[in-house]
Amino acid sequence: MKIIIFDGTFETTAFIRRLLIGLVDSKHKVYVLGFNTKLKNRIDGVEYVSLGANDQKKKLLLTSLQLQKFSLSCFINILKGNRKALQKTNLKVVLQQIKPDIIHAQWNSILPWLAPVLKSQVIPVVLSQRGYHTNVRPFVNENNFSYLKEIYPELAGIHSVSKAIEKKGNLIGVPSITNQVVHTGLDFSKFPSLSLYKKRDTLHILSVGRTHWIKGYDIALKACALLKKNGVPFTYTIIGGEGEEELLFFKSIFHLDQEVTLLGRVSQEEVYQKMQECSLLLLPSIEEGIANVVVEAMALGTPVISTDCGGMTELITHEKEGWIVPKRNTEAMATSIQSFSKLKVEEIEKVRKAARQKVEADFNEEQMVTGMINLYKNVLNGKA
């Protein structure tokens, strides 16, 4: 198959990077289209095609002139400074050149770029549903919901990372052919065997992710205040929280200067290292599909306490592969953390081993790549 991954950028998500490698290894021809020219981590065998950089006017002009073969309309749009028109024509030309079998769109927000393709129905389009873009935005933005409700039936297929997000997406609309759940997948050859859990006097809690209200960090900090009040010795680190005013405010008013650390973004290797060093990973989110960071933590043997948001209960059965608390419930979160601190090592070990077995069985790279290839084939064969 000739497959276009349209992400809007060359720096794709971790899911897509693993998928790209699997597609290339399976001998499919893969293209990544983006509105940029810089590429830090190229994947061998993938062809990266720029549609004109958003932040580099000169490169946008050169790309447009080259793709549009110095056409009159290209010169007119250059003179008018019409960047979007140039990029839309560049996309049209690239699609005509590649003649893909299928287009895989990564975000709801890039669907407007594919409007002519969806209208013509010549090239089937598959959409990956993402947490916030499916679970939240359409339901707080009436215009976005109305737009997606018209677009969803024009999609050939939809990929969901969990049953929960598939169900939420169905409230917006359904694709013309198939809607399939394919979990994220990890390469477990890169994850070490579990070593014995080390319990310490001070509980080291870790959260990882961008600072957005949907991540529920305010709730986590309120839970920390309760832990401190109850005399539980702990530290709490949020990777990605550095400089966030709301978090700094809560840290101050709850007198958590000694307990809470807000770090900036760090490399994947550093995230994994901190996961292995901490006592517990906390996911306080209000909405998720299935959080990649939790799958990775379970693979590394890091115990997890998560809210019951989105598809997290599909990943974790309470007290079996981790611990589940109601979302937006500060008291329940604090109680669960405090209860965890009192567990014996043998009890924690049982959960860690079950968590690793769960992700090895259901969230491995092979099932992910095979699942996506089957989705593409079902779309091309018109099978639900």
pTM of the entire predicted model: 0.87
Measured CA to CA, the distance from residue 20 to residue 273 in angstroms comes to: 25
Which of 218, 196, 182, 226 is CA-nearest to residue 327? 218
The highest-level CATH class for domain 188-362 is alpha beta
Which of 97, 39, 28 is CA-nearest to residue 67? 97
Domain map (residue ranges) of the chain? 2-50+101-185+365-381, 188-362
CATH homologous superfamily of 2-50+101-185+365-381 equals Glycogen Phosphorylase B; (3.40.50.2000)
Contact 326, 307 (CB under 8 A): yes
- What pLDDT, on the 0 to 100 scale, is given for residue 189? 87
- What pLDDT, on the 0 to 100 scale, is given for residue 256? 96
pLDDT one digit per residue (tens) for the chain, 384 residues: 999 999 888 877 788 888 999 999 999 999 999 887 777 778 999 999 999 887 788 888 999 999 999 999 989 988 888 989 999 999 999 999 999 999 999 989 899 999 999 999 999 999 999 878 888 889 999 999 999 999 999 999 999 989 999 999 999 999 999 999 999 899 898 898 998 999 999 999 999 988 888 899 999 999 999 999 999 999 999 999 998 999 999 999 999 999 999 999 888 899 999 999 999 999 999 988 899 999 999 999 999 999 999 899 999 999 999 999 999 999 999 999 999 999 999 999 999 999 999 999 999 999 999 999 999 999 999 887
- What pLDDT, on the 0 to 100 scale, is given for residue 12? 74
- What pLDDT, on the 0 to 100 scale, is given for residue 211? 85
